Amino acid sequence: MITSIKNLPKELKKKRIGEKYCIITDSTVARLYSKKILKILRENGIEAEVIHFSEGEKNKTLKSVENLASQMIQKKFTRKDAIISLGGGVVGDIAGFLASIYMRGVPCIQVPTTLLAMSDSAIGGKTGVDLPEGKNLIGTIVQPKLIIIDVEFLTTLPKKQIRNGLAEIIKCAVIADEKLFKFIEQNMEDILSLKEKQIKHIIKRAVVIKTEIVEKDEKEKNLRMILNYGHSFGHVLEKLSEYTLLHGHAISIGMVLANKIAVEKGFLKKPDAERIKNLLIKAGLPVSTMKKLTINDLQNDKKTEKAHINLILPTGIGSVVIHKEKCP
């Protein structure tokens, strides 16, 4: 729900999610917000403690999960307690994964602090960590018990992180909502300036789109695959950069690469491909890479199935197809 973080205690009490709460966050978010969140909770009689790890995708590992779990045990968290994920996509993935396996599973609450997490990664229940072989290769799907989206968190984000999150919202628009695409085209300046009305509108639409898709196909057997538009090549680019390339930046390039294939195969008209590319440029996102990727580079992607890989290719702005590309 889009609301104020000040409403978190009321929601926790109403839903009776846990007896005590472990707030999992990263080093940057801990510095910015941990004292504030603890104060809000403790003033309302809710017991909570903060545990953090070093920020960055490079720390989204099993070792980080192990360290966090050990700290939770030392602090005597039990299966009657719950985890609050406070942060961006990396935090959400790690905290959600930890919640799904700690003491064989405890409830998780998502409090996203980045545009990317608010519009995408906090929604849908996917959790996971990376392996040297690829991104998100170990994980679970467990739905959070509560999601609190407070756009005030965005005011402390660097502009590049706003652009980073906008890539996922543009993705949602391309796969399912031409009206949202037009809205972003017409309101880019206000969106990047974090005008409340515009930013809340695009977050809400992205959340609705993703939620409707996940409700129909939680385990990604078919329909949910369309949310991976731009991600097949994007994940490879992230890995090749040793995770120095921001996720949204990689997905932006991945969308352009997918569009190129879609045009070549006759699924997408070239003017639509150009329109998508132009919007990404307008958002300040990268649309090209020096690395010449091919289907061969996608062999370790989760979307690869035996003899083929599932590529999500647009057929227009607002619609896509799942194309099974034969592996070389």
- Write the CATH number for 295: 1.20.1090.10
Active site residue 247: yes
With a cut of 70, say whether residue 261 has pLDDT above it: yes
As a whole number of angstroms, the distance between CA 312 and CA 322 comes to 5
Active site residue 215: no
Active site residue 42: no
Question: Of the listed 55, 57, 220, 238, which one is catalytic?
Answer: 220
Nearest 5°: the CA angle 114, 278, 269 is 120
Question: Of the listed 60, 163, 171, 235, which one is catalytic?
Answer: 235
Active site residue 278: no
Collapsing DSSP to helix, strand or coil, 157 comes out as coil
Q: Quick one: 165 and 92 in the same domain?
A: no
- Write the CATH number for 102: 3.40.50.1970
- The alpha helices in the chain, defined as continuous H runs, are 8-15, 27-43, 62-74, 89-101, 115-116, 159-176, 178-192, 196-216, 231-240, 247-264, 270-282
The domain boundary, picked from 118, 137, 155, lies at 155
Q: Quick one: 119 and 144 in the same domain?
A: yes
With a cut of 90, say whether residue 36 has pLDDT above it: yes
Q: Quick one: 177 and 146 in the same domain?
A: no
Active site residue 308: no
As a whole number of angstroms, the distance between CA 296 and CA 88 comes to 31
Domains: count for the chain: 2
As a whole number of angstroms, the distance between CA 88 and CA 86 comes to 7
pLDDT at 219: 87
Q: Quick one: 86 and 229 in the same domain?
A: no
- Give the pLDDT band of residue 301 (cuts 50, 70, 90): low
Residue range 274-284: average pLDDT?
Answer: 98
Q: Quick one: 45 and 109 in the same domain?
A: yes
Q: Quick one: 185 and 246 in the same domain?
A: yes
With a cut of 60, say whether residue 306 has pLDDT above it: no
Active site residue 16: no
The domain boundary, picked from 138, 155, 172, lies at 155
Active site residue 187: no
Question: Of the listed 76, 104, 197, 219, which one is catalytic?
Answer: 104
**Poorest-confidence range of 106-110, 256-260, 304-308?**
304-308
Active site residue 220: yes
Active site residue 265: no
* Residues sharing a CB contact under 8 Å with residue 47, sequence separation 6 or more, in sequence order: 19, 20, 21, 41
Active site residue 195: no
pLDDT at 34: 94
Question: Of the listed 135, 171, 247, 249, which one is catalytic?
Answer: 247
- From the number of C-beta atoms within 10 Å of its C-beta (0-12, 13-18, 19+), residue 111 rates as buried
pLDDT at 133: 86
* Residues sharing a CB contact under 8 Å with residue 10, sequence separation 6 or more, in sequence order: 44
Q: Which domain holds residue 146?
A: 5-155
Question: Of the listed 126, 135, 277, 302, which one is catalytic?
Answer: 126
Question: Of the listed 231, 249, 277, 302, which one is catalytic?
Answer: 231
pLDDT digits (tens, 9 = 90+) for 149-182: 999 999 999 999 999 999 999 999 999 999 999 9
Contacts of residues 294-302 at CB distance under 8 Å and 24 or more positions apart, as own/partner, are 295/325, 295/327, 295/328, 296/328, 297/233, 297/236, 298/232, 298/233, 298/236, 299/327, 300/133, 300/134, 300/137, 301/134, 301/232, 301/235, 301/236, 302/134, 302/136, 302/137
Q: Quick one: 167 and 89 in the same domain?
A: no
Q: Is the pTM of this model over 0.75?
A: yes
Q: Quick one: 144 and 183 in the same domain?
A: no
Q: Quick one: 94 and 214 in the same domain?
A: no
The domain boundary, picked from 115, 137, 155, lies at 155
Question: Of the listed 59, 136, 164, 228, which one is catalytic?
Answer: 228
Q: Quick one: 167 and 316 in the same domain?
A: yes
Question: Of the listed 60, 205, 210, 239, which one is catalytic?
Answer: 210
Q: Quick one: 198 and 122 in the same domain?
A: no
pLDDT digits (tens, 9 = 90+) for 204-216: 999 999 999 999 9
Q: Quick one: 163 and 151 in the same domain?
A: no
Q: Specify the pairing of strand 146-147 against strand 308-316.
A: unpaired
